[in-house]
Every structure is written in structure tokens, then in C-alpha cells.
Amino acid sequence: MTKKKILVVDDSATLRASVAYTLKAAGFETIQAVNGADGLEKLQHAHASGEAIGMIISDINMPIMDGITFIREVKKTPFKFLPILVLTTESQEDMKLKGKQAGASGWLVKPFKPDQLVYVTKKFMR
């Protein structure tokens, strides 16, 4: 069986790299996208090629397509049941509520603690 991958959507290359590094060290594989629109393309490609995606980690503030819009769009695809973890600098309750209403499964505030990210990921990737 192929390992399920984690789609990491963030406009910061540095953040994508550190999330990928942290998750790889814990035994997870990642696919990276630079914004919500790119994330949707990566999901379509994975679906078309039969690649298994186990969860999504997404930022909120991104150009072209922000995280809230991205989450809403994912919920219209075959990946609508995937857990989506928001990883963002946003910590306001109203933004968290928007994320939850859009369909986010969890919320972590940057900068993240690697062990916390791995713990949450393992919980979602059962």
C-alpha cells in the first residue's frame, strides 16, 4: 500500500520546507503547494494519478487564493472528507471560526513547535 501524503499549502518556501522536514523526520511524505489555487491543482493531479492524500496543512494568508477559500473549495472535491489543519499566524477567534465554518479540522499558530505538529498530524493520519 502506498503511503498517504500530506499536502502542505503555504506561500512561504521557508515554512513549507520546515513543515516538510519536520513531517519527513516523523515518517510522512509531503506534497507542496504555493497557494490555494496551486493546492487545488495538486489535489486534482493526485486524484487523477491515484496518489493517496491523507491530510492537508494550509496557511490562511496567501496570494491568488487564500486558505479559507481553499478549504471551501476542497470541500467541493472528492477530498472533502480529508482533515485540514490550518497553520497560520492568525490567532483571532473570528478567524478561527471562519476556518471552522469553512471546514478546517484544526488550527495551529505559527511559529509551530515540531513535536506539536507531528502529534496533531499523527492524530489526523490514523
Q: pLDDT tens digits for 58-81?
A: 999 999 999 999 999 999 999 999
d(CA 118, CA 121): 5
d(CA 1, CA 107): 29
d(CA 100, CA 96): 6
d(CA 95, CA 78): 25
Residue type, 79: F
d(CA 113, CA 106): 15
Per-residue pLDDT tens digits for 7-18: 999 999 999 999
pLDDT given at position 16? 97
**Cβ count near 6 (within 10 Å):** 25
Strand pairing partners for 9? 33, 58
Place of cell 505538529: 117
Residues in the chain where the model's pLDDT stays below 50 = 1
Domains of the chain (ranges, CATH numbers):
5-124 (3.40.50.2300)
pTM of the model: 0.96
